[in-house]
Structure 1
Amino acid sequence: MSETPIAFMVATFIVLAVFFVVDIFVIGRRPHVPSTKECIRHIVFFVAMALVFGALIWVVSGPKPAVEFYSGWLTEYSLSIDNLFVFVIIMSNFAVPKVLQRYVLSVGIAVALVLRGIFILVGAAIITRFTWVFFLFGAFLIVTAIKLVTGHDEDEEYHENGLIRMLRRVVPLTDDFDGEHLRTTRDGRRYWTPMLIVFLAIGTTDVMFAFDSIPAIFGLTKDPFIVFTSNVFALLGLQQLYFLLGALLDKLVYLPLGLSVVLGFIGVKLIMEALSGNTLPFINGGQGVEWVPEVPTWLSLLVIVLAIGGASLASVISMKRAEKE
């Protein structure tokens, strides 16, 4: 149950809808490659808005929801940065022209918001009725963290999933793009353009991302309003971040290690919560484990900031050292 007043939530949804429509469907629909200055301007604006929003939550709901929002937003934003690498590979694999990449990202981010909204609603309903799911979420995040450390979760190249491979066999496709069009006419016959495959690749890939991000955010807060707004603010400005970091993502060598620390920490936190608050009969007769300590919200935020900030700083130092050598 949310601690935030209904009026504040309604106002937030209206403002976020305006932000999202302008960012994705107005600015994002202009077919051009944004300059570095334009990218930085947009990113700074949306980061500032997230910080202001967290402060407003502090005022209307108290410090705990505000810290939960900052923790969730930082986690989702960090995961989004890591996932941008896959988008870079998809764009390269399908040879999407630079001038069209912003439009593709617009549609992809819109699909991501819808899918994450569905996952959040389903996740909130499951957690409310079945608290033992924390064990599954926690174990999944720990396994993901281990894969990030060992490198088993990294792909050298993008691999098409079964849905896209099947579509290629049954749908007439052209080899070339026709602007933003999904369909085009060649020699009097209608064809689908590669844009259809790119949209499906971005959309289905984001479904896989949701399996990481949604359990992670529910490990920090159980408030659906905080979960949703954290995801929206993490997605806003993602287009500009893509163009700004596209050439640098492979140089952020320590980012996976930072993310592994965050996901591992949240996974352990979820399992601890499940042990202390679960009503399963085999856990202390349904009373939970009393000796399991509660992890305070401020500690979660501190771990996230130190892990992501330390990984980013180490990557920058490593990059500058490599340039000198």
Structure 2
Amino acid sequence: MSRRALTLLLAGFLVLALGVAGAFQPVPYVVLSPGPTENTIGEVNKKPVIAIKGRQTYPTSGSLQLVTVAYQGGPAAKIDLLTALRGWLDPTVAVVPQETIFAPDRTAQEVEEENTVEMTNSQDSATAAALNELKIPYAMVVGVVSTEKGRPADGKLMKGDEINSVDGKETKDVTAVADAVKAHKPGESVTFNVTRGTQKIDVTVQTVAGPQAQTVVGVMMQAKYKFPFDVDINVGDVGGPSAGLMFSLGILDKLTPGELTGGKQIAGTGTITPAGEVGAIGGIAQKMVGAKDSGATIFLTPADNCAEALKSVPDGLRLVRADTLHSAVAALDALRTSKGDVPACEAG
């Protein structure tokens, strides 16, 4: 073999070796793919996804599938270049920069914990929205989640306290409590009436100046609902807020006579507020693929996701626009009875 041929052979081998080594180098991307689906009027692990106690329920049929997105990668388990390249070639998945999922100052564990909290809040909001749609009254209180170490509330307000009033004025939501504190000048005292255990007590806390010169005491609060009956939602390891709409529909279907789906296989997504407003979500393309794979023929789509969804909707999946819980129920009624309008997604 000539020296020239040997040189070319060695150079080719070196390029191949470097290419193989490079393919397995970690890259700062995350692969998003269709995740598992769950029927909110069905069962998971032989337990109802939605279990209602203390109120009459009714038979259901068909399915109301919540859809999810699975991901590979992240700060603790980076994907390699080869995995990213395969993702870029697969039309059913998305490859996105790592920071779009994990902020630079957040760990994977922190993101998972936040998703768990968001799922819990979503379930409460979904229940509240369903009860509002049915005009079933319920109570809401402001609960203390934690206090900030070193701030005046630390050691005075306790986790689990329910705030009844501030300075003698009833407070029904988190915003009202925060506004009542902000009405003070830093250094002034504010009095909270709280329920702690079985007792109602007054707790006086001195205020201090916080970020943006706002008056604070250093307390983290969360709306807590007191529903007239128990609604228990079981979805295993699923996290995040995007199943809110489907939870609300599942609760409504169980609490009302007749079958909301008409026996159809329906999937959907969207956050939900207690007032029944449906919000946009991420990963719509992957969620539609998951819906189609689960057998769904109809996909309830948040209005703000419609334009994006239309670009990659799978064949055989009908997109129905969902602006509110009420409009989603009306759309399902129209689909079931063939009477009335069914709002469709339109390009923005």
TM-score (norm 2): 0.24
Relative contact order (C-alpha < 8 Å, sep 6+): which is higher?
Answer: 1
- Structure with the larger strand share: 2
TM-score (norm 1): 0.25
- Structure with the larger helix share: 1
